[in-house]
Amino acid sequence: MLDDFLMRALLAGLAVAIATGPLGCFVVWRRMAYFGDATAHAAILGVALALGFQISIFIGTMVVALIMAMVVATLAGRGWAMDTTLGVLAHSALAFGLVAVSFLPNVRVDLTAYLFGDILAVSRFDLAVIVLGSALVLGLILWRWQGLLMATLSEDLAQSAGINPGSERMVLTLALAVVVAVALKIVGALLIAALLIIPAAAARNLARSPEMMAAFAMAIGAVSVFGGLQLSLARDTPSGPSIVVIAALIFLATTLGAALVQNRSAR
């Protein structure tokens, strides 16, 4: 079954969707959208370093993403103006990464694979790493769910309940770095943040509780992966962007649906 590249692509995509669903909810609730962008863009720098030092791309992107996330978190703690700081860091990391890749002498790198993903080229080994990474992220979030939710609502409230908001923030930072590393192959550095935010935002229109929203975000992510792959096969479109396009259409549908329902109940 795993010999089929389509099956591998589908499984890898579903695994990532299951991790990005709940994590994406926290990204939305904590307004970390740009934070996610900066972390994801740093992945290209990670790719360059990994190729330069001949280490695993997963490790390279994860380490650089983690460093970027921690730098941003530290600067945020010191009261820097976040939109500017993130804008500088996100795009600098991307630019440095692109330039660094061009310096690599003997490597012919197909950059589009890293910028937009290459889900149809997922190998058995890739699949194993992706499933493992996604399971790790999902497990981490489920395990800390109450604490994460509490710290998201109010750090003071969390502290009063004996929950350290700093370590909850660390959990999310770590989860984000892992997701960036595993999702790079699926949608690429430029669209990882989309996979985090769009399913969660679409789920918001349907959900009445945080748990429901996380579950819907997973489901919407999974449907997007499935639909995106079908679209990619049928029309020969790039697979990563196709997945995001389906997610965006679902977002549009749930938003319009929610508006309709609200209108009807208002009358």
Partner 1 sequence: MSLITANSVGVSYTGRRVLFDIDFQINRGEIVTIVGPNGSGKTSFLRVLLGVVAPDKGRITRAKGLRIGYVPQRLHLDPGLPMPVSRFLSLPSRQSPQAIAAILERVGVPDVARQNMATLSGGQFQRVLLARALLTRPDILMLDEPTAGLDQPGVAAFYRLIEDVRREMNCAVLSVSHDLHVVMSASDRVICINGHICCEGAPQVVRAAPEYRALFGLGTGGALALYQHSHDHVHDEDCDHDHNHTKEHAHHAG
Task: From residue 127, give the alpha-carbon distance in Å to each of 6, 55, 118, 193, 250.
Answer: 12, 18, 12, 21, 26
How far, in Å, CA of 165 to CA of 141, rounded?
A: 14
Among positions 32, 42, 158, 246, the unique one binding partner 1 when judged by CB under 8 A: 158
Tokens 């983690």 belong to 66
How far, in Å, CA of 18 to CA of 27, rounded?
A: 15
Among positions 161, 253, 259, 261, the unique one binding partner 1 when judged by CB under 8 A: 161
Verify binding: residue 153, partner 1, rule CB under 8 A: yes
| Identity of the amino acid at 178 | V
CB of 186 to partner 1, least distance (A): 24
Q: Of 47 and 220, which CB lies nearer to partner 1 in the complex structure?
A: 220
Site string for partner 1, 178-207 (x = CB under 8 A): ----------------------xx--x--x
Helices 239-266 and 192-204, axial angle in degrees (round to 10): 20
Among positions 67, 98, 113, 159, the unique one binding partner 1 when judged by CB under 8 A: 159
Site string for partner 1, 202-241 (x = CB under 8 A): --x--xxxxxxx----------------------------
The secondary structure of 44-77 as a DSSP string is HHHHHHHHHHT--HHHHHHHHHHHHHHHHHHHHH
Verify binding: residue 150, partner 1, rule CB under 8 A: yes
Verify binding: residue 149, partner 1, rule CB under 8 A: yes
Q: Of 54 and 209, which CB lies nearer to partner 1 in the complex structure?
A: 209
Tokens 């994590």 belong to 23
Using an 8 Å Cβ cutoff, are 95 and 42 in contact? no
Query: Interface with partner 1 by CB under 8 A: which residues?
Result: 28-31, 146-147, 149-150, 152-163, 200-201, 204, 207-213
